[in-house]
Amino acid sequence: MRHTPIFAALLGLGLLAQAPVSLAKNLVFCSEGSPGGFDTAQYTSATDNDAAEPIYNRLVEFERGATAVKPALAKSWEVSADGLTYTFHLREGVKFHSNKDFTPSREMNADDVLFTFNRMLDREHPFRKAYPTEFPYFVGMSLDKNIARVEKTAPMTVVFTLNSVDAAFVQNLAMSFAAILSAEYAHQLMTSGRPSDINQKPIGTGPFVFQRYQKDSQIRYRGNKDYWDPAQVKLDQLIFSINIDPSVRIQKLRKNECQITLHPRPADLDALKNDPQLQVIEKPGFNLGYIAYNVRHKPFDQLEVRQAMDMAVNKPAIVKAVYQQAGQLAVGSMPPTQWSYDESIKDAGYNPDKARELLKAAGVKEGTEITLWAMPVQRPYNPNAKLMAEMLQADWGKVGLKVKIVSYEWGEYLKRTKDGEHDISLIGWTGDNGDPDNWLGTLYSCDAIGSNNYSMWCDPQYDALVKKAKTITDREQRSVLYQQAQQRLKQQVPITPIAHSTVNQPLSAKVEDFKVSPFGRNVFSGVSLD
């Protein structure tokens, strides 16, 4: 910056110390948690996916703020008449990032796509053996079973062959787990004996380049000057400021210490909406907060016990206290805005007397101890898990159960619940791709046990319906099967749906062109500051 004599004198006297002088277009995002890493295929939580989103691209991507799929690293694709073969033509001239240990010698090509997917497909893949990990989304959606092979037919052409028709296949490839990695970088990491760096020192093709990460503090990225779509890079620096406490995030937003935050407390919304320095974008939530009963733990292996737990929950009181004016009572296993939602499904209703009778008939003694796991973070589908857990503790106490509330750091919480350590857990979901299978298959199927099926529930009748629906392309036929599956799930009570929340996105009035994703993603490509 060039200083005039008067400016320099004032600066020297400290008279301009409080003046906001911007030297670059830097945006600070107040996030709510520390990611476990940046290898998106390993993770399912929004915290992890948000942190990796700026770094990567996929073959196809969702339009910002919408559910439609558009070309990305694949500039076009064709599907065979039988629906089993997908041919993707890759975009030319796409450059991978570099860091102090790696400089790419070539542009992105078909070898990178093969590496990305074969690592997930093949348990004997050299990199997977060097860096063993699991791929919960990939497995939870049965892609490990349904993708027969991935082949390179030309330097910039990749062909996926499926074993059976998957009506949601292209939408699935737009999800975070399908981020395209550098085969060349992976080879270098294996050669140097540092394969885990793919998770902690990420290399992608995205609009922002990873710089550094300090857990529980911040993540720093810089704008990618070599990005293949330069119009989408309007920031010099992107900084994630990690703050678990929602009140701290709001304070920082109001002081302009960050320009975007997420998951405000319902009690803060009126003040935020009345602040002239801020804007609050409000959208119907494509989400569900629910209670998951671990059917592998006694006494929750008994249907009567799960029915009793469900009837003992005073859902209207919880929605009023926890969600306040930003929640809608949930009845089904996915949001009403999802096509194929069955509107005929009804709740059993709040009936603690009947619940006590069912527990007694099932042999559950008065004073039986159970654990209820409560999330340590705010999510769009649950703004206050601690309060919800305390209300459930009181509800279930009224029917004779002694409830102990348990919590862990978010990453540990997810890991332990996926391993089935809990009796009951508070959890939820924000849709990823607009397809019913992303709810009914991803959350409740047999294949999803160990990934997103926190109930550990595997019902052959339900599973057959969901799997058959996925192989049909006609929407009406799929809807019939999905509605039958919803009825079965409601009868068997592996979960108690609680609420769908309205998404309120607070940000500085200076932020331009930020789009609220229906899938709960925070995407910073195309975003600028006035």
Contact status, residue 1 vs residue 19, Cβ threshold 8 Å: no
Whole-angstrom Cα distance, residue 221 to residue 189?
21
- Cβ neighbour number for residue 239 with a 10 Å cutoff: 19
**Residue 10: phi, psi to the nearest 5?**
-60, -40
Predicted TM-score (pTM) of the model is 0.80
Contact status, residue 470 vs residue 441, Cβ threshold 8 Å: yes
Whole-angstrom Cα distance, residue 321 to residue 314?
11
Whole-angstrom Cα distance, residue 295 to residue 422?
10
324 conformational bin, left if phi > 0, alpha if psi -120 to 50, beta if neither: left
**Residue 75: phi, psi to the nearest 5?**
-80, -20
Q: What is the pLDDT along the chain (530 residues), one digit of tens a residue?
A: 333 333 333 334 333 333 333 346 999 999 999 999 999 999 988 899 999 999 999 999 999 998 899 999 999 999 999 999 999 999 999 999 999 999 999 999 999 999 999 999 999 999 999 999 999 989 988 899 999 999 999 999 999 999 999 999 999 999 999 999 999 999 999 999 999 999 999 999 999 999 999 999 999 999 999 999 999 999 999 999 999 899 999 999 999 999 999 989 888 999 999 999 999 999 888 999 999 999 999 999 999 999 999 999 999 999 999 998 788 999 999 999 999 999 999 999 999 999 999 999 999 999 999 999 999 988 889 999 999 999 999 999 999 999 999 999 998 999 999 999 999 999 999 998 889 999 999 999 999 999 899 999 999 999 999 999 999 989 999 999 999 999 999 999 999 999 999 889 999 999 999 999 988 899 999 999 98
Whole-angstrom Cα distance, residue 183 to residue 113?
8
Whole-angstrom Cα distance, residue 505 to residue 326?
12
Residue 49, SS3? helix
Whole-angstrom Cα distance, residue 381 to residue 96?
35
Domains of the chain: 26-280+505-529 (3.90.76.10), 287-503 (3.10.105.10)
What is the C-alpha R_g of the chain? 24
Nearest to 325 by CA among 376, 276, 275, 268: 268
